[in-house]
Structure 1
């Protein structure tokens, strides 16, 4: 029986995982997100597709990734429409042919690689792409009459564009991460020119098989909370409504990626903030990724009832009810049940012909309400105010959670964290303004004129029209 691992293994492994991205991106400009996400995908046993023009360090990213794994064998190939299977899978074995066996010598080729970089992955013919499907998904290669197990950890694919055909779509689905890689920005360009040479990463101890096994075991024990599962289901429904198909297989892989991300940071549960990874997993291109990022920025950390538009409709309903009751009128009867006419009558006025005309006599007065009615309305507003206060506390807690998450996160993109926190802050300000309006409506109900004798009627609750 194997001895249990030392107690400090988990902490030591987390520290090394946290240090790896910085070492891998040393000497690169504006490639931090791509490095981190490609590494995370590899740790989850998934593949990454880099989409962008030539000369954007895609091959360099792949070469660096293999340095994160101890004893990793690296394979690299540029595909064209003239590429033949021997270039990827190895030459035919002459000795096997002499024995009537059709086998390849795979040593030094893709079936024996740990990390592989395949440039222009969609340029190859359909026969090669079909052969790659099994290798990427099952980590097995059909060699002659049998299948050989492949040590493949992750493939980095690169392409300028994704063609729209059935074979390419199936192959495209094998890459869990789809990362756009573009030219550096203006400020980044100045940093690029300042580089004499991108130094090879070093100083970080690579991960061995025991490290990967420990991470996989920890990830298997990570929980997927109901709140996170509900958000995944919400996004799935949203995409389905937009006719954006995401396979069930991909959703399962996404859940595993989230668990690996949580385990690598020492957590036993997936956090809602881990969902910032979703755009790169469920959207095929930059435009849709931006849309999903915007949705997540506006959605994470908030419950559905916290949405300012929904709360605004509720507050407006109380404001409208208060105004309606303030302006309502009743017929004015005296003690004998006869209409009481207003004693404050206007003087006679002359019409255009000079004839005398008496002003209309008023027999109405402002409606009065019983204490029970008024207290019922105030109680309804108080419930709304308490609910808004609860939302404010929940948002404050979400901001604190996001800050704590970001401080210890290995993978989180700060470009996502800042707008997400800003959205929470803006939402908090918006619902505070609604709380003030609700309190004003409460005062309006308290200011309603009272009846001397309370009829004891309880009003129907204020209702909110559906949007």
Structure 2
């Protein structure tokens, strides 16, 4: 079985590994995927949640993914000392006036580590961990020891806001809120055996596998449209006073490239941005906000956002109503007609005569009124309908683009390793909803067009070209 699995492509092997990691864990699909992806990218994960939510079990399973990967696990308290993580002092080294630790079996020589209640450590431990997590080096005595660390999975009930903890918190690229099983999954939880065995991986990833994946990720292309959307997201977060370090943005790009390479792709695509909520926020509420922002922007061009097209439609509707109600006479502020030789024609004169009657003028004179719908030349009407036709053609073309985008999402989702079902469903629902909203707006544009076509016409005068309807 191991030989057969090892001969599979990397995406197929990873798909099988994910299925094995998830076995027996209820509602931990996203955590399994993102913790594994972070490890493949050489990054660290932080699980935030109450005790008893399978955080340690997830880390124990992760270390079996990697071949010959020493595992280290420790629960920290406010009384923990450096010896618990980094090893005891070497007596033989002390005899030679060297302050060194015996690190065998401890964190500096582990490949995968789980540190529970990681923020309860004192500042001395956290400062030492900063270098270990970021540079993969440990200050041991007078020298620095190179560490084989692949990934650390940290766990905590809450994240403190002091300066040292904030710097340490930033070292965890993936940060997931792990909640107790929902009511919907509770019955599945009850059906689990009391002693849940940690499953074995048939063909764990070797150092050569990891090296090949890293080389492939180095060649993955980052398209301009993805970079531009990241810039928009950065502005969105800045407006919300959500700080994201430059280092984190660089690591996020690497995570997306690793995701693409692990699926056999040569470039990052828009859908890879589904990984961002867990990398940019530490609390579930903010992650949901970022996810919602992404699902409303992925595959949707700003020029065709329904709210923007709605403004255009409303502008045309208002214009056609204005022109339908317009008349040819010019009234002054008091409501009296302004006389002008070029507008006092025979039919107007008859209307005025009927309105005046026997009035002799003065303060009690009957106010002269006259109503005649304004008439429009063909040039005016063609200009209005032509502007609408242009917008309708662009909307129709864009709705075809949306359909292609929905098909692209479905194709991506069918082979994706890292996209969550909830994100895929939300993105598809929004794309379909956008298409339906634009179709309704097209129908309203058609109604406005018919309104312009029905305007009263000048008999012979072709009219003039009006200023375009503005809606930007």
Name the TM-score, length of structure 1 as normaliser.
0.92
Are the structure 2 counterparts of residues 237 and 11 from structure 1 closer, same or farther at C-alpha, using a change threshold of 3 Å?
A: farther
- Which of 352, 361, 373 is matched with 1:366 structurally? 373
Distance 1:9 1:443, change over 3 A: farther
Secondary structure in 2 aligned to 1:329? coil
Question: Does the alignment pair 1:111 with 2:118?
Answer: no
Gaps of 5+ in 2: 331-339, 356-363
Q: Partners in 2 of 1:230 and 1:55 — Cα distance? A: 41
Counterpart residue number, 1:34: 31
Q: Deviations over 1:320-367 (max 9, x none)?
A: 11111111111499999645237689999xxxxxxxx99976544211
2-structure distance, mates of 1:25, 1:452:
77
What residue is the counterpart of 1:394 in the other structure?
401
Aligned pairs (5 A) from 1:441-456 = 441-454=448-461, 456=463
Tell which deviates more after alignment, 298-307 or 449-458: 449-458
**1:78 and 2:85 are equivalent in the alignment:** no
Moved more, 283-292 or 127-136: 283-292
Q: How many angstroms apart in 1 are the aligned matches of 2:427 and 2:83?
A: 49
Secondary structure (helix, strand or coil) at the match of 2:65 reads: coil
Matches within 5 A, 1:294-333: 294-331=292-329
1:89 paired to 2:96: no
Give yes or no for contact 2:376–2:463 (8 Å, CA) kept in 1: no
Question: Residue 420 of structure 2 is aligned with which of 413, 417, 436?
Answer: 413
The size of the alignment, in residue pairs, is: 452
CA-to-partner distance for each residue in 1:260-288, whole Å, 9 max, x for gaps? Answer: 01111111111111111111001121111
Q: Residues of 1 paired with 2:392 and 2:151: CA distance? A: 53
RMSD: 2.4
Residues 220 and 267 in structure 2, CA contact (< 8 A), matched pair in contact too: yes
SS at match of 2:200: coil
Contact 1:25 1:201 in 2 (8 A): no
1:167–1:336 CA distance, 2 compared to 1 (3 A):
closer
1:366 match: secondary structure: coil
Change (3 A) 1:224 1:11: farther
Deviation at 1:231? 0.9
Residue 49 in 1 paired to residue 46 in 2? yes
Q: Would the aligned equivalents of 2:65 and 2:201 in 1 still touch at CA under 8 Å?
A: no
The 1:342/1:26 distance shift into structure 2, 3 A limit, reads farther
Deviations 1:278-337 (A, max 9, x none): 110011211111111111122211111121111000011011111111111114999996
Report the secondary structure of 1:211's partner residue: helix
The residue aligned with 1:438 is 445
8 Å contact 1:53–1:160 — kept in the other structure? yes
- Please give the residue correspondences for 1:217-366 in structure 2 after superposition, counting only pairs within 5 Å: 217-331=215-329, 338=345, 340-341=347-348, 362-366=369-373
Render the CA deviation track for 1:73-94: whole Å, top value 9, x for unaligned. Answer: 0000011111111111111111
Is the 8 Å Cα contact of residues 342 and 362 (structure 1) preserved in structure 2?
A: no
Matched, 1:186 2:193: no
Q: Distance in 2 between matches of 1:335 and 1:28?
A: 86
Match of 1:176 in 2: 173
Structure 1 runs (4+) deviating above 2 angstroms are 8-11, 197-200, 331-348, 357-364, 452-456
| Alignment of structure 1 residues 190-201 onto 2, 5 Å | 190-196=187-193, 197-201=195-199
| CA distance in 1 between partners of 2:354 and 2:449 (Å) | 39
Could you tell me the TM-score, scaled by structure 2's length?
0.91
